[in-house]
Structure 1
Amino acid sequence: MTLKELYNTGTDILKNASIQESSLDAWYLLEYVTGITRARYFVDSQQTVPKNHQKQYLQLIQKRAEHIPLQHLTGVQEFMGLEFHVNEHVLIPRQDTEILVETALEKLKEISSPVNLLDMCTGSGCILLSILYYMKNKKQITGTGVDISDKALEVARKNAKSLGLSVDFLQSDLFDKITDKYSMIVSNPPYIRSDVIKTLQEEVREHDPMLALDGMEDGLYFYRKIISESEKYLQADGYLIFEIGHDQGLDVSNMMKDAGFRDVLIKKDLAGLDRVVLGVYDTKR
């Protein structure tokens, strides 16, 4: 088969399997297997593909047709312009979460060095590592990532090594093993209501780790826990910044205000939906 024939075959298989972005996913897998660029494809689309590459590609296409996430097949996901290792033990980094990172980077400019940063429910480490990567030459900063899952922390450590960053990763059920105080706490905790999980896309429902999805009955369990305990671990005027579900802005912001946080704000994502809530810990309350 030629490159064009192979790509068209992959696209057709994924389309028939109701994969939403069938042509794009077929391309990414072709690129992953053959290493071809788009520019070269347009020039060499009639080039014959080696048998071993054909076999590998069609095997991956079949797995994607079974709704196994593309990122689990390639093992990587781009986030904040960086490449992160991912697998079935971590939530796949999503573009919406970049709003949280961008907000943290903006607020870090207002904090005097040195900065001590905590990422609660770190997963792949994409939030913490992105912040550290883009602040490494601008501010004296140290970071700690916490997760209850040992398997997730293995992925986070691999990502830190790939990016050349020195980070402490700690297995802990939220703050159970935390003893330090931090200039900023960031978190993308599980926030999907338990009864909604069964309605999610198959790629998410069947392949993302349930620990990273289930926010209990009303989706707000982890916000309550983190907000109520964070005052023991935040320095004066420290920031607490959350990613939230699109319908949770009011609830989470009110929780933070009730807990004594000031300057509480809700930030929207590119689709105009509530995506981030942040506030400053007020020691004078």
Structure 2
Amino acid sequence: MAEAVGRPLGELLRHARARLAGAGIADAALDARLIVEHFSGTSRTDAISTPDRIVTQLSEIEQALDRRIAGEPVHRILGFRDFYGMRLALSAETLEPRPDTETLVDAVLPFVRETAAREGTCRILDLGTGTGAIALALVTQEPRAIAVGVDVSDDALATAAANAAQLGVAARFSTKKSSWFDEIDGRYHLIVSNPPYIPSKVIEDLQEEVRSFDPRRALDGGPDGLEPYRKIASGAAHHLEEGGWVGLEIGHDQRRDVSGIFEQAGYQLIAHHKDLGGNDRVLVFGL
């Protein structure tokens, strides 16, 4: 498109939707709206009430549309993803938090609140924290909770810390560089994790948006997809308070295998939860 001074918002939205739909983007209307709103500083209300409003950020919007057509996920282009009512910044080495992971927050939040009411606080350890999504959702929902986000990536830890600051909970969220429990001291009421759980050989078969843009080490769970669960099961007992819980996201077909790993390590399955699609998604264990 030739450079122009500006273009009416309503017309621009139709143009963006047509470009994405013509390229076969499944959610063309939604992605077009997200891109146009973000780069123009407008809202859905603006599109309805003032569709003739002139948008001047045409170059930025066209470049974003080009990136989306090339396969880059829309939230990578925007640089953030909304999760559990929070807006979380993304970075190259963080997994994009998905709605399915909100199932884990829902599963353990009552325990966090009950523990905080009884003990005056709830100490949470989030293994493989990435953007900080799980831990930050819990500490924003329970003001007496404190959390440590653990990751091997400096980039992820910096992103999680920045998200905590943006949300105003930096005083109750800290980061620690560690491979699982290697550098972890102390005990926690709750250990949570959305670990890598895709078998190594399956990663190349994933959607391009996942395979090419999510960090591989946030996906790759080893030959059978279960290595992280074995590491968590072998180490969690040394860092759990009496009566503590371990809450885990799992792949849709891993309930039996992950349950077996933890039961062999002496844990009991407390609860299991399905995601919005009806798939097994969360297991909660206690000792």
TM-score (norm 1): 0.93
Q: Which of 149, 159, 172 is 2:178 aligned to?
A: 172
- Corresponding residue for 2:163? 159
Q: How many residues are aligned here?
A: 276
Q: Which of 122, 134, 140 is 2:129 aligned to?
A: 122
- Corresponding residue for 1:270? 276
CA RMSD of aligned residues (A): 1.3
Q: CA deviation at 1:241?
A: 0.5
Q: 2-side partners of 1:29 and 1:89: how far apart?
A: 22
SS of structure 1 residue aligned to 2:135: helix
- Corresponding residue for 1:70? 74
- Corresponding residue for 1:21? 27
Give the partner amino acid of 1:159.
N
SS of structure 1 residue aligned to 2:222: coil
Give ranges in structure 2 of 5+ residues lacking alignment: 1-6
Q: 2-side partners of 1:248 and 1:263: how far apart?
A: 14
- Corresponding residue for 1:229? 235
Q: CA deviation at 1:96?
A: 0.3
- Corresponding residue for 2:213? 207
Q: Deviations over 1:134-187 (max 9, x none)?
A: 000xxx322111001111101001001001112120111111100111111000
Q: Which of 126, 130, 139 is 1:132 aligned to?
A: 139
Q: Deviations over 1:233-267 (max 9, x none)?
A: 11111100100011011111122222111243221
Q: 2-side partners of 1:255 and 1:232: how far apart?
A: 17
Q: 1-side partners of 2:203 and 2:269: how far apart?
A: 33
Q: 2-side partners of 1:149 and 1:47: how far apart?
A: 43
Q: 2-side partners of 1:175 and 1:190: how far apart?
A: 15
Q: 1-side partners of 2:52 and 2:113: how far apart?
A: 52
Do 2:138 and 2:145's aligned partners in 1 also have CA atoms closer than 8 Å? no
Q: Are 1:57 and 2:64 an aligned pair?
A: no
SS of structure 2 residue aligned to 1:183: strand
Do 1:240 and 1:279's aligned partners in 2 also have CA atoms closer than 8 Å? yes
Q: Percent identity?
A: 38
Q: 1-side partners of 2:37 and 2:18: how far apart?
A: 17
Q: 1-side partners of 2:63 and 2:235: how far apart?
A: 48
- Corresponding residue for 1:10? 16
Do 1:257 and 1:264's aligned partners in 2 also have CA atoms closer than 8 Å? no
SS of structure 1 residue aligned to 2:181: coil
Q: 2-side partners of 1:238 and 1:49: how far apart?
A: 53
Q: CA deviation at 1:24?
A: 0.5
Q: Which of 74, 89, 96 is 1:92 aligned to?
A: 96
Runs (4 or more) in structure 1 with deviation over 4 Å come to none
Q: 1-side partners of 2:39 and 2:247: how far apart?
A: 39
Q: CA deviation at 1:192?
A: 0.7
TM-score (norm 2): 0.93
Q: Are 1:141 and 2:145 an aligned pair?
A: yes
- Corresponding residue for 1:106? 110
SS of structure 2 residue aligned to 1:222: helix
Q: 1-side partners of 2:43 and 2:270: how far apart?
A: 45
- Corresponding residue for 1:219? 225
